[in-house]
Amino acid sequence: MTLPRLAITLGDPRGIGAEIVCKALADPRVASACRWVVVGPAGLDCPVDASIGEWHPRQSDANAGRLAGKAIARAVAMCQAREADAMVTAPIDKAALLAGGFDYPGHTEMLAALTGRDVAMMLASDRLRVVLATTHVPLRDVPGLLSAELIGRVTRVTREGLRTAFGIAAPRLALCALNPHAGDGGRFGHEDDTLLAPAARAHGLLGPFPADTVFVRAMRGEFDVVIAPYHDVGMTAIKVASFGAAVNVTLGLPFPRTSPDHGTALDIAGQGKADASSMIEAMLLAARLATRT
């Protein structure tokens, strides 16, 4: 059987992307699971197969973001042209990405724009799966962004992704509440009663359940995934449960895309300290998903 080919981006060249990619590619589990092409700028400690420019340490943050964005676009194009079967991305710096001319809050939104697809951001481990209804937005904007239409769209993408990519024929989806104690009958907010509960019923979701119990219940096997209303409530749960072993998966794309569950770690870049565990898991999961799609 031909091994799937991964397009692997190096992320922000100032961060730990090149280090964790090289460490992961040296892992025998990765070597036996896939082939790969590394996409990024020349001049880093990890050799690239598809160069999108040259990096020098004295270049600006904006140029780091420009190179990171170009690598993402190149890897997407490779997957769309069937030159690669899946995409794995090393971490980017979102402020640098914007300064470099790519006006997207993160990978998820950029991938949606480049492919024209409705997507959902899922963090997954062997203990828990979490999907974010809203992604990289200020907390103050979340209540205004939540809608029955949004919940329905995220539910559809999530349910289809779990069926096709993860082989779960009848996924059990739970909705996490927005307010403490799911609003406690309106005492701590009305959104859970007036918006989330009707949306859950309309789209076949269980809940909404309070955030302080729903993730524990999912880890005990009651649900296959929890849809979280905003970034930090979902990300905190998955990182406490499985930091270093979780993988970011973009559901809804025409090809698999994964990434590690952490950021650029600029503070330890170039010191050889970076842990490649999550990148290894991201590559292994991308290879598995590529064989199913």
For the chain, the structural domain boundaries read: 1-117+256-293, 118-252
The rounded distance, in Å, linking the Cα atoms of 198 and 19 is 47
Q: One digit per residue, pLDDT tens: the chain, 293 residues? A: 699 999 999 999 999 999 999 999 999 999 999 999 999 999 999 999 999 999 998 899 999 999 999 999 999 999 999 999 999 999 999 999 999 999 999 999 999 999 999 999 999 999 999 999 999 999 999 999 999 999 999 999 999 999 999 999 999 999 999 999 999 999 999 999 999 999 999 999 999 999 999 999 999 999 999 999 999 999 999 999 998 889 999 999 999 999 999 999 999 999 999 999 999 999 999 999 999 86
pLDDT at 231: 96
Tell the burial category of 180 from Cβ atoms under 10 Å away from its Cβ (0-12, 13-18, 19+): middle
CATH level 3 topology of 1-117+256-293: Isopropylmalate Dehydrogenase (3.40.718)
pLDDT at 293: 67
Tokens representing 281 are 């898991």
Can 1-117+256-293 and 118-252 be said to share one CATH topology? yes
Contact 122, 159 (CB under 8 A): no
pTM, entire model: 0.94
Enclosing H/E stretch for 207? strand 206-209
The CATH number fitting domain 118-252, selected from 3.40.50.620, 3.40.718.10, 1.10.10.10, 3.40.190.10: 3.40.718.10
Read off the DSSP letter of residue 181. Answer: G
Tokens representing 131 are 């999907």
Q: Is the peptide bond before 254 cis (omega within 30 degrees of 0)?
A: no
pLDDT at 292: 81
